Chain A
Amino acid sequence: MSALVIVLTLPLMTALTVLLLPARARVPVVLASSALIVLAAGALVLAVWHGGPVTLAVGGWAPPLGIALRADGLAAALIMMSALVMGAVALAAQFELTPDRVGVRMGFGFWPLMLLLWGALNAVYLSRDLFNLYVGIELLSLAAVALVALSGSAQALAAALRYMIFALAGSLLYLAGVVLAYGAHGTLDIGLLAVRVPAHTDALALALMTAGLLAKTALFPFHVWLPPAHAGAPAPASALLSALVPKASFLILIRLWFEAMPDLASGAALLVLAALGAIAVIWGGVLALVQKRLKLIIAYSTVAQLGYLFFIFPLAGGDGSAQPWAAGAWTGAMFQALSHGLAKAAMFLTAGIYIAAIGSDRLGDLRGLARSLPMTGFAFALAAITLMGLPPSGGFTAKYLLMTSAFAAGQWPWALVLAGGGVLAAAYLYRPIAALFAQGARTPARPIPRVWQAVPLVLAALSILLGLLSAIPFDLLQIGRPAPAQEGL
């Protein structure tokens, strides 16, 4: 209970505190606070693990008047993953975003924005009320847009505005759906909506909310804002934008389709969502193949990796939710969300190290850097193993679960896309790895502190560990799962 309150309030309180602190005290306070939040996230996971979902009615008001917060296994797992990524990003940013390296504005602005983003993420993970989710996702978008614009260059400002147009349009679509749902049922609580009397506006409400959330999740064809946003943002901000921000809107989609309105999940609608995901896997992979900058390769890889998440809809949603393979598909998609978060954050942090070391992230300039920065090269290779879905990584567990479910359900096209996406990932990640491990460095690297180099290595190792210890997260994700969990596969 108290852990749940801490992960919600401490990031927001620290964000406000940082604004008042002198420059010297800023980083230590953020790091201390981050450590506390990571501990609280761990305590929350333990509480859910031992005692089932943790629920809190804010101010003692029960729904429909009040707002319910609930940490089920999925929320706890996402909170833990986000806490680890945020902690790692804070550790890397204290080296990378010093005022003398990137200017006073970025050196100051990054910290409160990072914490606001963290608070918004946790609020979205825990909320059980559609309007509360709207406020959370809006706070998340505003913090993310500001992070994109942080450098203040014309290119970054244009990218931030483009992102903002997508994010605002998405918010308004979502809000329109919320208004329709309230007009029909007089409640916005997910638990109460699940037992509603169906109304004829429900399908439109769900469609509007879904369209808005797809724009925020950067699913094809709404992905066009994502790569330019990464190009201008500092690497720690990129790590947050790719690893965490899309996961929040994806979680709301899960809450809507599996918990609030599962009766509306028709086969055709689920097929459309998964087909968009399949196109994203291929299209993102192809575009990642032709990029010349490391950050853009990683950004387009995000477009592709987010596509896998949407295979959850036909494999575990609608009529399939009672089938024996549903638990495997559902957990596979969540494994993908978790391992992609860890591995993608690790990759962007390694890109930040290379940019700090040689001042560029062009593939040609990265030649031979594995020799002078071996830890970083190793971290990049480990993260790549997860993204390609090779054993024993978390990405392998995710793709294995999704693939076996696809075959069990007789929906083999998704398995083909999974295999093709893996091949594409291997191809587009081979280019930076080949450059890094090539003979003969082209550019001399500035020395990088060992602690900074260790941060992405730890994150990448965690994404591998997720696959090695997959039984524990598998069971955690089943706690409080909406459909009857079956160990069919």
Chain B
Amino acid sequence: MSLTVFALTGAALVGLGVYGLLALPHLLRRIMCFNLIGSGLFLFFGAAGARGVAVDAIPQALIITGIVVALSASALAVGLVVALARRTGHAALPDEDRTP
């Protein structure tokens, strides 16, 4: 029962993150949304991996690794956004003309 709650919470976080990615142009918010989706997936992972009576250690190890990867990616993304905001004064992607 409690595992289902964890899994559903994870799924809800992923949904929130995907909505934000599609709806919010501000780049910092987008980075937050990526982190939301990642956290939701990790939560779901923990719940999905806890099968049977014994605690499975592998999902925990993988989640920790995943958090490190997500943190590194977020750090780089924030650095890029700050640099872009300094150059252009906007923290959103310029809607460039797509016609070649």
Residues of A at under 8 Å CB distance from B? 64-65, 131, 134-135, 138, 141-142, 145-146, 149, 152-154, 157-158, 160-162, 164-165, 168-169, 171-172, 175-176, 179-180, 182-183, 186, 224, 228, 287, 290-291
Contacts and interface: CB of A to CB of B under 8 A. Distances in A.
A157 B73 contact: no
A228 B27 contact: no
Contacts of B38: 172, 175
B50 to A, nearest CB: 10
A182 B93 contact: no
A138 B93 contact: no
A410 to B, nearest CB: 36
11 contacts: A142-B72, A152-B87, A157-B80, A158-B84, A164-B80, A169-B21, A172-B38, A183-B49, A183-B51, A186-B49, A291-B100
- Listed from nearest, the 8 A-B pairs whose CB atoms lie closest are A183-B48, A154-B87, A157-B84, A179-B45, A138-B69, A154-B88, A168-B34, A172-B37
A138 B73 contact: yes
A400 B15 CA distance: 46
Contact of B93 (A162, A168, A291): A162
Contacts of A180: 48
A475 B96 CA distance: 47
Interface string B24-65: 000100100010011001001100110100001011001001
- Interface-central residue, B48, B59, B94, by most chain A CB under 10 Å: B48
A166 B83 CA distance: 19
Contact of A149 (B45, B51, B83): B83
Given A228-B96, A291-B100, 8 more contacts: A138-B69, A138-B73, A142-B73, A142-B76, A152-B83, A153-B87, A169-B21, A175-B66
Contacts of B45: 179, 182-183
Contacts of B58: 64-65, 182
Contacts of B65: 131, 135
Given A135-B69, A158-B93, A172-B38, A182 B48 contact: yes
Nearest to B7: A183
| Interface SS majority for chain A | helix
B interface residue count range (under 10 / 10 to 19 / 20 to 34 / 35 or more): 35 or more
B77 interface: yes
Nearest to A187: B58
Contact of B77 (A134, A161, A169, A183): A161
A65 B58 CA distance: 8
A158 B94 CA distance: 7
State the main secondary structure of chain B at its contact with A: helix
A317 B51 CA distance: 33
Contacts of B48: 179-180, 182-183
A139 to B, nearest CB: 8
Contacts of B66: 134, 175
B67 to A, nearest CB: 12
Given A131-B62, A186-B56, A161 B72 contact: no
B83 A157 contact: yes
A109 to B, nearest CB: 12
A180 B66 CA distance: 15
A172 B34 contact: yes
B94 to A, nearest CB: 6
B25 to A, nearest CB: 11
B8 to A, nearest CB: 14
Q: Which of A134, A153, A224 has the most CB of B within 10 A?
A: A134
B27 A161 contact: yes
A160 B78 CA distance: 12
A145 B98 CA distance: 21
Contact of A168 (B41, B49, B73, B81): B73
B80 to A, nearest CB: 5
B28 to A, nearest CB: 11
In this complex, which of A134, A154, A228 has the most chain B Cβ atoms within 10 angstroms of its Cβ?
A154
A118 to B, nearest CB: 18
A161 B56 contact: no
A161 B76 contact: no
Contacts of B14: 176
A342 B22 CA distance: 38
A290 B77 contact: no
A64 B49 CA distance: 14
A168 B31 CA distance: 9
Given A172-B34, A291-B100, A161 B84 contact: yes
B36 to A, nearest CB: 10
Contacts of A161: 27, 77, 80-81, 84, 93
Contacts of B34: 168-169, 172
A145 B84 CA distance: 14
A222 to B, nearest CB: 15
A172 B41 contact: yes
Nearest to B38: A172
A160 B27 CA distance: 12
Contacts of A160: 80
B32 to A, nearest CB: 12
Contacts of B93: 158, 161-162
Contacts of B56: 186
Contacts of A134: 66, 69
Contacts of A158: 84, 88, 93-94, 96
A158 B66 CA distance: 26
